């Protein structure tokens, strides 16, 4: 499994964009980048995933570099409810398990 | 009602006791998982099952066992609980397509 590296913590002002980086320099060509978040001690929640193209949904945008060695999750207008631990995970589809590292603790400040 | 339900949500027990954590799902997914989370750490996979007759060990299966009683039910057992099994336990489900995980609300276990 490809490993990911994330900063342990970040702050963001409420209303501003939160940009969460993830390095995955050993990612293979058939591995996807997934993002999950965990609010307090709730079960992690799926946010978004992508292979090589940038992706956007109602929660966030995922920007993957052309060489696929890193990615950025963007929360365009962070709110206090976005305070959570964000996990970046790489995995193949169809059968490979998710490996959750320690993630990035994002604090959205008023 | 939650799509992935875990019982009990909280449990305090003593060293040496047998404990079962239960998970049921109404999502119709074939794959089910048990994860463990310790404070400040990510989730670690204990066991997973891709269908009723399939059981696989994860990275930290020692001291745990599981049973997949039906497609919708996946139970985790601690045969003889020990204090370092004190943790937050999560059940999750997925399909074989995108593989997106859907988590339960967690079961907090304290072993004294």
| B78 vs A93: CA distance, rounded Å | 31
| B52 vs A110: CA distance, rounded Å | 48
Closest CA to B35 of A8, A94, A97: A97
Nearest CB among A42, A46, A93 relative to B101 is that of: A46
The chain B residue lying nearest A103, using CA atoms, is: B42
Determine phi and psi for A29, rounding to 5 degrees.
-60, -25
**pLDDT tens figures, B23-65:** 999 999 999 999 999 987 889 999 999 999 899 999 899 999 9
**pLDDT tens figures, A36-85:** 999 998 999 999 999 998 999 999 999 999 999 999 999 999 999 999 99
| A69 vs A25: CA distance, rounded Å | 4
| A74 vs A86: CA distance, rounded Å | 11
Interface test with B, best of A35, A44, A105 (most B CBs within 10 A): A44
Indicate the helix (H) or strand (E) that contains A64. Answer: strand A61-64
């Amino acid at each position: 499994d490809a490993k990911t590296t994330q900063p342990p913590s970040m702050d963001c002002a409420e209303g501003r964009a939160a940009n969460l980086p993830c390095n995955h320099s050993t990612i293979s060509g058939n591995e996807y980048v997934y993002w999950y978040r965990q609010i307090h001690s709730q079960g992690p929640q799926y946010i978004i995933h992508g292979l090589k193209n940038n992706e956007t949904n109602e929660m966030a945008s995922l920007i993957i570099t052309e060489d696929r060695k890193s990615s950025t999750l963007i929360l365009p207008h962070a709110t206090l409810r976005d305070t959570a631990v964000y996990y970046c995970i790489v995995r193949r589809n169809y059968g490979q398990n998710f490996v959750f590292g320690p993630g990035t603790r994002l604090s959205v400040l008023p | 009602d939650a799509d992935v339900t875990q019982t009990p949500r909280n449990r305090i027990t003593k060293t040496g006791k047998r404990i079962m954590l239960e998970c049921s799902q109404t999502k119709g997914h074939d794959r089910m998982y048990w994860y463990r989370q310790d404070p400040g750490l990510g989730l670690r996979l204990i066991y997973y099952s891709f269908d009723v007759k399939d059981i696989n060990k994860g990275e930290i299966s020692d001291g745990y066992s599981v049973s997949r009683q039906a497609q919708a039910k996946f139970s985790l057992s601690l045969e003889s609980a020990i204090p370092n099994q004190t943790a937050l336990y999560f059940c999750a489900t997925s399909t074989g397509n995108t593989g997106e995980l859907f988590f339960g609300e967690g079961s907090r276990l304290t072993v004294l």
